[in-house]
Amino acid sequence: MTVEAACPLTARDYKSDYKPVWCPGCGDFSVLLAITKALAEVGRPPEEVAVVSGIGCSSRVPAYTNCYGFHGVHGRALPLATGLKLTRPDLLVLAAGGDGDGYSIGGNHFMHACRRNVDLTYVVMDNQVYGMTKGQPSPTTSPEWDSALVPGGTGLRPFHPLVIALAAGANFVARSFSGDPNGTAELIVEAIRHPGFSLIEVLSPCVTFRPEEREWAKQVHPAPVEPTDDRGRAARRVLTDDGFNIGVLYRGRRRPYQPPFGQAQVEVAEFEAEFLP
């Protein structure tokens, strides 16, 4: 299944030649690098990896890898990834996208993917803004942030993805910062290796519409606590921390959801008998 160490795979083996649409300085460049580094570390050949996404700046990531990819419609990366993984448990399936795609239009799928706990790794590049449509507030945007679409700010409390993920049943929860691609790659490796549904929330600045997010580099810090397998404790921590704790925040012990697929016990023709009167 994997290529032996004679010629170890490197991040470059997972990178395509296709030039990203991202703005210079975008945090997503580093996340792409982290993903390819992580895949090289895990060592599954590119054709055994599928990167699945929805719509948005960060959702462009599949075509920038040399893996199989699916760039679907807005908000539906997780059901696409779920259908693929359930029927192809042999593949490494990674879903990726942004905060608008995953937490707003795809919010219901996010909850249910956590609850379902299929063995997927979900990398969310959270920049607290809709970048592709040029600067509207997302569910994680702070209430006072002013924009053309919502002048004066939304006045709404931001969505807290990590607490929602914990409450809904995600099996692995981590936070990272795009400015640290090596650290992010390590977290992605661990997420891939952890069974079940893993969420990595990557703080990934939008330098065009949220230039103030460059300051995140100074604000992030390693989580001052050890990862826990206690959901309540993890939830309390992420609810009360400053939002810049980096590292693994929760490692669960739920069994992944993977019903058997592909092992027929009967021939289809055997069902004919039930239609006899």
Partner 1 sequence: MAEARQTEGRDTLTVAMIGSGGSGVMTAAEILIRAAARAGYYGLMTKSFGPQIRGGEAAAFVVLSTAPVEAPSDRVDLLFAIDWQNAGRFAGELPLDADSLVVSGQVDAELPSIVTDAAPRIAEVDLKSLTRSHKGTRPNMVALGVTAALAGLPRAAVATLIDERLAGKGEAAMQQGTAAIDLGYEEAAAMTGVDGLTAAGDDGERWIISGNQAAGFGALRGGVRFAAAYPITPATEILEWLAPRLQKAGGLLMQAEDELASINMIIGGSFGGAAVLTATSGPGLALMSESIGLAVAAEIPILVIDVMRGGPSTGIPTKSEQSDLNIAVHGLHGDAPHIVTAPMSIADCLFTAQWSTHLAESMQVPVIMLSDQSFGQALGVVEKPADVAFATRRLLAEEPAEDYLRYALTANGVSPMALPGTAGGQYTADGLEHSQSGLPSSMAADHNEQLEKRLHKVTAFDYGDHWARVEGGGDAAIVTWGSATGPVREALRRLDPGGERVRLIAIRLLSPAQPRQLAEALAGCERIMVVEQSQGAQFFGHLKAQFDLPAGADLFSRPGPQPFRPAEITAMLEEWLS
Count CA atoms closer than 13 A to 68's CA, side-chain side.
13
In angstroms, what CA-CA distances link 268 with 32, 159, 177, 265?
45, 47, 51, 10
Find the binder of partner 1 among 90, 146, 212, 229 (CB under 8 A).
90
Distances (CA, A) of 79 to 73, 95, 148, 257: 11, 10, 32, 14
Closest CA to 244 of 212, 225, 219, 214: 219
Tell me: does residue 98 bind partner 1 (CB under 8 A): no
The letter for the amino acid at 30 is S
Selected range binding partner 1 among 74-82, 137-145, 168-176, 200-208, rule: CB under 8 A: 74-82
Of 172, 144, 146, 168, the C-alpha closest to 158 is 144
Rounded least distance, CB 256 to partner 1, Å: 14
Whole-angstrom Cα distance, residue 211 to residue 244? 17
CB of 106 to partner 1, least distance (A): 9
Number of residues that bind partner 1 (CB under 8 A): 50
Residue choice 4, 5, 7, 265 for contact with partner 1 (CB under 8 A): 265
Please choose, out of 69-77, 204-212, 231-239, 243-251, the segment that lies near partner 1 by the rule CB under 8 A. 69-77
User: Measured in Å, how far apart are the chain's first and last C-alpha atoms?
Assistant: 49
Considering only residues 220-259, where is the footprint of partner 1 by CB under 8 A?
Answer: 259
What is the smallest separation between the CB atom of 242 and partner 1, expressed in angstroms? 32
Q: Between the CA of residue 125 and those of 21, 29, 140, 184, 204, what are the distances in Å? A: 15, 11, 11, 11, 5
Q: Which of 29, 112, 153, 164 binds partner 1 (CB under 8 A)?
A: 112
- The nearer residue to partner 1, 5 or 275, going by C-beta atoms, is 275
Per CB under 8 A, the list member of 67, 162, 173, 249 interacting with partner 1 is: 67
Residues near partner 1 (CB under 8 A): 18, 45-48, 50, 52, 62-63, 66-73, 75-76, 78-88, 90-91, 108-109, 111-112, 259-266, 268-269, 271, 275-277
